[in-house]
Amino acid sequence: MEAFSISNEILPFGSPLLALFSLVPLYTATFKVKSTKEAFGLWFLQALTVHLVSSWWLANFHDFAIFTLGASALATAFMAGLCGTIVYIVPLYTKKSFVLEENGGKHVFAPFMRILWFTACYLFWEWCKSVDFLGYPWGTLSMAAYSWKIITQIADITGVWGISFLFCMTSALTGEGIRLLGQKRQPSVQSVRGYVNVAKGLCLLFSLTVVYGCVQYLIPRTEEKNIQTVLVQQNCDTWVTGEREAVRVSKELTENTLVDMRNNGIEPDLVLWSEGILQLPFPDYRFVYSAENEAEESLSGFINRMGVPFVIGGTVDVNPYKFHYTNGALFFDAGGNFCGFYSKMHLVPFAEEIPYEDNPLMKAFMENVVNMPSGWRKGNQFVLFTVPIQKNNQYGTPLEYRPEKVARITLDENRLSDWDEREYFIHNTAKNPDAHVSFSVPICFEDAFNDVCRTFHLLGSEVFMNITNDAWSASRSAEYQHFIAASYRAIEYRTTLVRCANSGYSVVVNPAGKIIQDLPLFETVAMSVSVPIYKHTNTIYACLGDWFIYTIIVFIALVILILFIFRIKPECKGFIKHVFSPRVIIYTEEKAESSLAKESVVKKVTVKKATKKVPSQKEAVKTIAKKTSAKKSEPKKSSVKKQSVTKTKTKQTTPKKNTMKKTKTKTTRSSSK
């Protein structure tokens, strides 16, 4: 169910309603498994299915499908299997007494703990698959929730993890309700009351989320400035068409759009081309793109003629001696001069970056088997680009934007002021922030990772301008999934997101997640858009980062730590069976025969115990005589109590002798008779 709730070819933006209950089968199945192996296999199969169904388009990644789809699917499923075993740990190590007390009406919080434990472990899996080197934040519940803008507004507090928490907890609550209704016997009043309390708490969380979402989504936001930008979607896969065709189409689209803008009295401030267009490495080959040719105009000459700064995706040679190349965003000024670059820092595993590339065995394998001798290198520097806004550049810098926090006004010996000090309080020579825009350029799927975008935002980036190449996917679902994953960055940091893709989805999103303007998929087209720039603010998520998921991780660690500290042993492997599917004895012919066989064995044992030899009368007399002689031989003690005890014992033994004599006489009489 989860795979179909995420963006697909039928539902381009997913189905939040289906996502609410997508994990119900996983919840009910998890609490019916009988071993850690079954728990691992269940979660492994769940993650593998979701990944293959929702991200099937990874197989179109040219010659590297075995890594992009196969390796990512196995890695994702393996992490899910480990989280499934963690889910099984707590029920496995719970005492039988707790289970009996819960079934007896105690421990009202037991349903809540089960629901919370399942939700926490599932969020831990989503976090594991979304961060670090093998991070792939696709196929999550938050992606399915995109269409419910009121719910997604809490991302500026909790990130996407709070959204996944609400959806996962709803599925767990539904699964727990199915479990209670499916029991053979009627559930206790206390367990039902505990379940109702959890439902009330979840409804309260949703209500608070809706109220907060309505305020954030409907509140009017005033832009402080805007930047006139041209987005070029040339609809060329440079891996297939090559650089020349992509540059030719991009030039044509750019010039037509700029002419239309200037005819309408709009002066452009920036032009964006997508990722990976220029294939010769910069800065060494920058002269190739500036050399004039009779057949066609050079790239630098074209930019100079347009008179607008450009950002173009290309290759950067960061170390020519070791052949280290990076995937970069190249920056050109209005004169066509190469100004600098930003190198991609979060690379696609197995496609852009080879793990353990310096290892000789891995290097030989990639060269001989995969035919991929080397990959990209990670960038190691965050870069911000600043361009002037032509509309506001005609005004001077207001005095309120003076950068110094402390100033001094001094007079000379003649009680006269200095000319420079007078000018400081009359004219501000610093840059006018209203006439400039600082932006960052996350490349490809970097716009889906907070370790990159959060740093850019804290450094002062006023807008995210992403360039990407998704043409290789050849699917609508891939384009929309990438956009959905990136759209949360606008909400998390309350900033504007601009995406320029070579085949889609090229779009502009405001801080509330609303689409301002977009381009159709897989069409050769360009658009001019006035990108709104809002006041740069630091949200709770921008300041604290992934605090919500870290709290979940600490909770999981504490629960596991408590189990190990107190060394709680698994009293019964069938705890989950005992709790969630009570054992019911079913009488069949085979069981009846086995029970009869057991009863016959028990009868034989009791007969053997009953037919043990009874000691004879002579042996009984001898044993009594030995006990009395042994007591007489013991030294006399001074305590009166012990003497009285021995007297009572002798008194008790004497009648036994008389009885024995009587039995003898009876036996002799009977024999004489």
> Catalytic: 344?
yes
- Which tokens hold the place of 153? 């507004």
CA distance 593 to 99: 32
In degrees, rounded to 5, the angle at the alpha carbon of residue 544 between the alpha carbons of residues 540 and 545 is 100
- Buried-exposed string 66-96: b where 16+ CB fall within 10 A, e elsewhere: ebbbebbbebbbebbbbbbbbbbbbbbbbee
> Catalytic: 404?
no
CA distance 458 to 462: 10
> Catalytic: 444?
yes
3-state secondary structure of 288: coil
N- to C-terminal Cα separation, the chain: 96
In degrees, rounded to 5, the angle at the alpha carbon of residue 608 between the alpha carbons of residues 603 and 611 is 125
Which member of 121, 128, 168, 444 is catalytic?
444
Q: Tell me: cis bond preceding 505? Omega within 30 of 0 counts.
A: yes
CA distance 182 to 252: 66
3-state secondary structure of 517: strand
Helices (H), 63-188: 65, 72-92, 96-103, 110-130, 141-144, 149-152, 155-158, 160-181
CA distance 142 to 160: 6
Q: DSSP for 314-361?
A: EEEEEETTTTEEEEEEEEE-TTS-EEEEEE-SSPPBTTTB-TTTTSHH
Q: How far is CA 63 from the centre of its chain?
A: 28
- Which tokens hold the place of 301? 């000459």
CB 176 within 8 A of CB 215: no
Q: Which helix (H) or strand (E) holds 438?
A: strand 436-440
3-state secondary structure of 467: strand
Show Cβ contacts of residue 648 under 8 Å, excluding neighbours closer than 6 positions. Answer: none
CA distance 529 to 268: 9
Which member of 102, 128, 344, 462 is catalytic?
344
Which member of 126, 275, 446, 492 is catalytic?
275
CA distance 270 to 153: 30
In degrees, rounded to 5, the angle at the alpha carbon of residue 319 between the alpha carbons of residues 313 and 325 is 35
Q: What letter would DSSP give residue 63?
A: G
CA distance 377 to 375: 7
CA distance 587 to 290: 89
CA distance 379 to 444: 14
**Which residues are part of the catalytic machinery?**
275, 344, 444
